[in-house]
Amino acid sequence: MSMTNDYGTYQFTVTSGNTKDSIVSNKANLSDGNGVHIRVSMFFDGTNNNKFNTEGRLEFFEGVHGHKHNAEMAAAYEKRLRSGKSGLKIDDSYANDYSNVARLFKNYDDDPTNKDVRTGCRYIEGIGTTSNGEDILDEDGKKVGVNLGGDDNKYGGGFGDGATGIDKKVERGCEKLAEACKKIAKDDTIATLTIDVFGFSRGAAAARHFIYEITKDKVEATTQSYGTSSGYVQTINIPEQPPFGAFGKALHGKSLIYEGDITIEFAGIFDTVPAYRAKLDGGTKALHLNAVSKANSILHLTAMDERRKNFALTTIQQKGSSAIEKELPGVHCDIGGSYTPIAKEKDKIVFAGSYYDMKDEVQYLLEEGWYWSEKQLECKFGYLGTLTRGLINAQGYIKTVGTKKVKNEYSFIPLHIMRDKAQLNTQGVKFKDIILKKHQIPEELSYTNERLRDYVFRKGKPMKFYTRKEIDREIEFIKIKENPKALLNEPHVAKVDALSIVNSHRVEHIETNNDAAITTEQSKPLNANDYPGHPDLQRKINDHLTLMGLRAQYFHTSHDCSSLKAATGIAYFDPYAASIRTKPSRGINQG
């Protein structure tokens, strides 16, 4: 007797004293090399990002103001609104704006009938979200609406696992890819298959895991036999597993079999944060995130100012001319998108600790550009009650909270960079030009845009923040190098070992006398044009001034600073730093 199922299950055969192979072959016509060439781009959105839910909210509120574009999406959101679920709470997929992954997908220029390479794309909703944006059909198959789905899944959003976790999104991606192949190929055989992946946050982890899944090798059929107490030999025939993992099974389910190679052409990912199942490495090994190295071309844009400990970054391990990883200023969603056009950060905790440190913290926030005015900052007395009886007693602490309005156009810069990189290095990835108009970079960000493009495309130096003290110190050293005798007589300049200045070409090698410290006059505004012939100093000054403006107007604060460590002294309960000037606690995992 035997029970036979297709890929993914076992076949059982019971015989008397011998084994019997009963594997069933179910192959369709294979490509003879003269079929069609297909290229599909897959877009994996980030945690709590879902373009369909965002569309529903936007269409509804556009409709309220007389500019309704999609009545079905608006109606679906209105239904949710009337049920008492506004979708307007912070970090809700209905409240978020489009991520850069969604923006790229919405502006992808597919060409499924191209005579050379037929192209298409598929979108996978972000981890932790349950809606799918699919049509609602009546009994006759007539479209009667759009399904926005239900609430966001807290477990999926928190651990990257479960029904809305990374694994399930990859499975859904495999189904969607098979669906695309079926639709694009029609009745033709597939000669070649090329894939591109895009992803943000956990969606970037999903995109990398997706590469691992669809490049799995075929597993040949095997047979295992063992004796039973009745004298019979029980044989378990394990059928062959198709190549390409879950994608191969999805192809089989659609009566499609492709036995060529899959080419992973481009991987465009924003700030990979797997945060998977609370694993120490974030799930880097379990998800095989190093599979991204199989792509012919990679661009990974990461967030320089992201600080959260539970947002550990997984980098790309093998870097080179075809695998580029660049760190851009800003926090997680400044790089990957999803902030609304004008976000009001109200009572954001930017410091939590001792009263005696409060004044220095406020001074730091202003000097480093995080806030324009002291009026934006308020110091409050916080109270921490007993968390665990006998462990933590009620204690007080001082917290500094900030309020400001933050724009989202800075995220258009990494969007345009990713778009241009995808089109530059590959043949076939095309985006509509309308993306440049829909997400136009403001004139006031022109220096930032050119500066970061130089860094990504022309091997320029990273755009880092240098403090005013660091810049003033370098200015003084330059003056001393150029005219040490004259400057040593100036009262505001410290006595410096002239010999060490002459012999040194690097600022950090210059030594000062112990009885004096270099002081500077910080009242004079910085101007890079005052220092011709010193391009490095000019760059640092321009970056300093630009980043001061970006921090105050465009960079978001991704989390509240924690008061727990300040109140308890117990580091275990403190996932975040007590001050935004503290060194970021974000982990880095090599992938």
pLDDT given at position 516? 35
Contacts (Cβ under 8 Å, ≥6 apart) of 540: 466, 470, 471, 474
Output the pLDDT for position 10: 32
- The whole-number average pLDDT for the span 120-126 is 96
Q: Is the pLDDT of residue 506 over 60?
A: no
Query: What is the Rg, in whole angstroms, of the alpha carbon atoms belonging to the chain?
Result: 29
pLDDT of residue 56: 81
pLDDT value, residue 561: 75
The whole-number average pLDDT for the span 176-185 is 96
Q: What is the predicted pLDDT for the residue at 137?
A: 53
* 498 vs 268: which has the higher pLDDT: 268
Q: Give the pLDDT of residue 418.
A: 98
CA atoms within 13 A of residue 394's CA, in its CB half-sphere:
3
b/e code 309-324 from CB counts within 10 Å (16+ = b) = eebbbbbbeeeeeebb
pLDDT at position 201 is 98
pLDDT digits (tens, 9 = 90+) for 362-405: 888 899 999 999 999 888 876 554 333 333 334 456 778 889 99
Residue 427, both tokens: 């043949």
Q: CA-to-CA distance for 578 and 576, rounded, in angstroms?
A: 7
pLDDT digits (tens, 9 = 90+) for 413-433: 999 999 999 998 667 799 999
- Beta-bridged to residue 400, according to DSSP, are 351, 379
pLDDT tens for residues 298-348?
999 999 999 888 889 999 988 888 999 999 999 999 999 999 998 888 888
Task: Please state the rounded mean pLDDT for residues 559-580.
Answer: 56
| Structure confidence at residue 488 (pLDDT) | 57
Distance, in Å, from the CA atom of 46 to the CA atom of 258, rounded to the nearest integer, reads: 30
> Using one digit for the tens of pLDDT, what is the confidence trace for 522-557?
458 999 999 999 999 999 999 999 999 999 999 998
Confidence check: pLDDT of 90 > 80: no
What phi and psi, each to the nearest 5 degrees, are found at residue 440? -75, 135
Looking at residue 248, its pLDDT comes to: 95
DSSP designation for 294: G
pLDDT for residue 295 is more than 60: yes
pLDDT at residue 513 is higher than 60: no
Give the C-alpha separation, 559 to 115, whole Å: 50
> What pLDDT score was predicted for residue 149?
59
- Tally of residues, the chain: 591
Contacts of residue 168, Cβ cutoff 8 Å, sequence gap at least 6: 162
Closest by CA position to 567, among listed 401, 399, 396 = 396
DSSP three-state, residue 2: strand
Cα 548 to Cα 329: distance, rounded to the nearest angstrom: 11
Nearest to 323 by CA among 420, 412, 425: 425
Contact present, 420 and 430 (Cβ < 8 Å): no
3-state secondary structure of 302: strand
pLDDT at site 83: 59
Range scoring the smallest mean pLDDT among 60-69, 303-312, 448-457: 60-69
pLDDT reading at 503 higher than 60: no
More confident residue, 475 or 257: 475
- What pLDDT sits at residue 350? 83
Non-local (6+) Cβ contacts of 572 within 8 A are none
Residue 469's pLDDT is what? 93
Binned at pLDDT 50, 70 and 90, residue 570 comes out as very low
pLDDT confidence band for 84 (50 / 70 / 90):
low
Highest mean pLDDT among 278-292, 493-507, 567-581: 278-292
Write out pLDDT tens, residues 146-172. Answer: 566 568 888 899 899 999 999 999 999
pLDDT at 139: 59
How is residue 271 annotated by DSSP? S
Is residue 263 predicted with pLDDT exceeding 70?
A: yes
> What is the mean predicted confidence (pLDDT) over 492-502?
38
**Non-local CB neighbours of 104 within 8 Å, separated by 6+ positions:** 43, 198, 268, 415, 418, 419, 422, 431, 435
Separation CA 396–CA 412 (nearest Å):
42
Residue 74, pLDDT > 80, answer: no
Task: State the Cα–Cα distance between residues 313 and 284, nearest whole angstrom.
Answer: 10
Query: Residue 27 pLDDT more than 90?
Result: no
pLDDT of residue 307: 85
Residue with tokens 């009886």, as numbered in its chain: 389
Q: What is the pLDDT of residue 211?
A: 99
User: In this predicted model, which residue has the larger pLDDT, 300 or 143?
Assistant: 300
What are the structural domains, with CATH classification, of the chain? 36-50+96-127+165-215+241-340+409-457 (3.40.50), 342-406+560-589 (no CATH), 468-553 (no CATH)
- The pLDDT value recorded for residue 9 is 38
For the chain, percent of residues with pLDDT exceeding 90: 50
Question: CA geometry: angle at 209 spanning 254 and 223, to 5°?
Answer: 60
Integer Cα distance of 461 and 476 in angstroms? 23
